[in-house]
Amino acid sequence: MFDNFLIHTFHDGNCLQAYKIFGAHFETHEGKKGVRFTTYAPNARSAQVVGEFNQWGETPCYMERYNNGGIYTIFVEGVKEFDMYKFRFETPQGDIIDKADPYAYFSELRPGTASKVYNMEGYRWHDSKWIKNRTKNYDCPLNIYEASLGSWKMKRESEGEGDDGEYYSYEELIDEIIPYVKKMGYTHLEVMPLTEFPFDGSWGYQATGFYSATSRYGQPKQLMKFIDACHQEGIGVIMDFVPAHFVKDSHGLHMYDGGFVYDYNDYNRRYSPWDSVYFDLGKNEVRSFLLSSVEFFATYYHIDGFRFDAVSNLIYYEGNKNLGENIGAMEWMKRLNGHMSGYHPTVMMIAEDSTDYPGVTKPVGEHGLGFDYKWDLGWMNDTLKYFQEDPVYRQYDSRFITFSMAYFYSERFLLEFSHDEVVHGKATIINKMWGLHGDKLAQVKALYVYMMLHPGKKLNFMGNELAEYKEWDESKSLGWDILKYPDHDAFHHFAQKLNEIYLKYPALYEMDYDLKGFEWLVVDDHDQCVFAIERKDKAGNAIIAVMNFVGNTHEKYKVPVNIEGSYKEILNTDQAVYSGKNIVNPRAIRSKKTKPNEKTKLLNKDHYIEVKLAPFSACIFEVKPKKGTPKKTPKKTKRVIKKTK
């Protein structure tokens, strides 16, 4: 009846397919068609399944223990797809409680709390080419659009308390968000948590169903169709996943069978600051539960990557270094990343981690946690702090711009301006900028150029590309009407152009994590707050950006350069088409030779270019070496190219 090896690995904490044992599965038993229900409830005195098929327990369906290991199971004839059900337990204290199925594939639409029988088999995928060519994007472009599927665009917004509004379905979103993401030049769509959750205001970060795609937007196979459509349009899908904690709601995992199956036995470890319950990842069955959940979404939904929320709370108890390392949770992360790298080697594993714990992106075999990427929250905080302050004081705070490169190569970092930065009371990205509207708009464009030229993959939350002033509200659509204003429409086109440049030039992504791919050309001009960056690809082709972060104009700012040749401006944030004053460099700039008596701390190379810089602006140049000038290609790259030829 069951795969005993799977049961063994479940109790051993290494099971990746616990969903094949537990939950509700269609089967034929003794010639009769029905559903087998199975759950893990080691503390229960008794267990039964109740649902529409037995009038919610009027005809008792008591479950039998399997091998005395805390597993209860029963076959019920005649159960149909979409039938609702729950498990009913007699607790060690003699109470009777009803619980949703932790392994349910589908759930009743909130405010309902029942699980639904669902057949996950039978969807025909059309993304074999995508899956075959998929990589973890270390040397490929990775530009992520983070979105809440419900509030990106709504059919009808909430009209007040008790009204949830009306969402687009997974299928309807195929014709809405996918063309937009593709047109704007993003490579991946990151969706906020889709595992079933009861309260809209938690944004999905307090879940009940870790195998159940939320019913807010439709059925599981509709989600499969949506992801399939993304892949056919060349867009990857990353799913936000919450392994640290779960909701306290009575129908959920908290005190599941009257005892502490998923939660800590120790009261002092059990509850989080978010009024939720921490998973006890020191328990092997809990490890298997969450390992299998990640593997399930990778297998059944073809998810291309997972962003793991609140990893700091998995590294340290409550995310607090003073409370000590959470050894059980760290062991789980190592197992997860080790198993996934073997079974799903092209699925990205991304840690949202605010700690300085070393080796988050090092392989497990090298004593690391094994993630592929780590959010650079330090870069995000420093950068926004710099742009929030009065430009008069920025000359003293250049470290906020430069410090990230002092530690950047210690991990494989991803740069992000996520939903956390634009929610209630935090102000949107443009509204964090110093000054009035015109200055804010100019600075946020310069900020995004700096972000794009800085090494590391990229992520922006929906609405950031509109320069929205309205903070994100999960019950309302983005402010699409803002595009009727010329400044915001121009900014929207600027964001699209910047993404286009990112995709076009390998120098901006091929060597993100190679020291040879980045150099500060100007980093010490503290008084004028001008910075310049050079990025190179594996073949030695270069792109440079020059950024002026204060309100002064420079007619001929001298930028030292490595390559003798021509520098063509391919983007300037002050172009009129982007609502600027058109202080630009219209013709290609030829480099000049630096005379020995001209060399200074700022002009420290053999060649330089003279650039016109508008206030609060940034410009990007494509570099064309002078004919006969050899490209400086790293030796390793040369060998690879030769071998390929």
Q: Check residue 641 and give its pLDDT.
A: 35
d(CA 87, CA 208): 14
Q: Check residue 633 and give its pLDDT.
A: 54
Q: Which amino acid is at 592?
A: K
In a domain, 141, yes or no: no
| DSSP label of 316 | B
**pTM score:** 0.94
Angle between the 437-453 and 486-504 helix axes, to the nearest 10 degrees? 10
Q: Check residue 597 and give its pLDDT.
A: 86
Total domains in the chain come to: 2
Direct distance between the N- and C-terminal alpha carbons of the chain, in angstroms, rounded to an integer? 55
Q: Are the CB atoms for 212 and 112 separated by under 8 Å?
A: no
d(CA 309, CA 286): 17
pLDDT 10s digits, 438-450: 999 999 999 999 9
Q: Check residue 643 and give its pLDDT.
A: 39
- Chain-centroid distance of CA 63 in Å reads 40
d(CA 101, CA 37): 9
Task: Please state, as a whole number, how many other Cβ atoms lie within 10 Å of the Cβ of residue 378.
Answer: 15
Contacts of 25 (CB under 8 A, 6+ apart): 35, 36, 38
Q: Are the CB atoms for 574 and 584 separated by under 8 Å?
A: yes
Dihedral of the alpha carbons of 598, 599, 602, 603, in degrees to the nearest 10 = 70
Q: Check residue 628 and give its pLDDT.
A: 74
Q: What is the set of active-site residues?
A: 309, 352
Coil/strand/helix, residue 73: strand
Q: Check residue 295 and give its pLDDT.
A: 98
**CA–CA distance from 119 to each of 338, 537, 621 (Å)?**
30, 47, 54
Residues of the chain with pLDDT under 50: 636-645
Strand 305-308 versus strand 236-241 pairing type: parallel
β partners of residue 623: 567
d(CA 256, CA 261): 6
In a domain, 154, yes or no: no
Preceding amide of 506 cis, omega within 30:
no
Place of tokens 């870069």: 379
In a domain, 368, yes or no: no
Q: What is the domain range of residue 21? A: 4-117
Among 117, 132, 167, residue at a domain's last position: 117
pLDDT 10s digits, 476-518: 999 999 999 999 999 999 999 999 999 999 999 999 999 999 9
In a domain, 557, yes or no: yes
Contacts of 88 (CB under 8 A, 6+ apart): 47, 48, 49, 50, 57, 96, 97, 98, 99
Please report, rounded to a whole number, the percentage of residues in the chain having pLDDT higher than 90: 92
- Chain-centroid distance of CA 282 in Å reads 26
Q: What is the mean pLDDT of the chain?
A: 95
Number of H helices, E strands in the chain: 17, 32
Coil/strand/helix, residue 36: strand
CATH of the domain at 546: 2.60.40.1180
Among 71, 92, 117, residue at a domain's last position: 117
CATH of the domain at 110: 2.60.40.10
Among 70, 85, 117, residue at a domain's last position: 117
In a domain, 589, yes or no: yes
Q: Which amino acid is at 38?
A: T
In a domain, 551, yes or no: yes
Task: Please state, as a whole number, how many other Cβ atoms lie within 10 Å of the Cβ of residue 329.
Answer: 25
In a domain, 18, yes or no: yes
In a domain, 277, yes or no: no
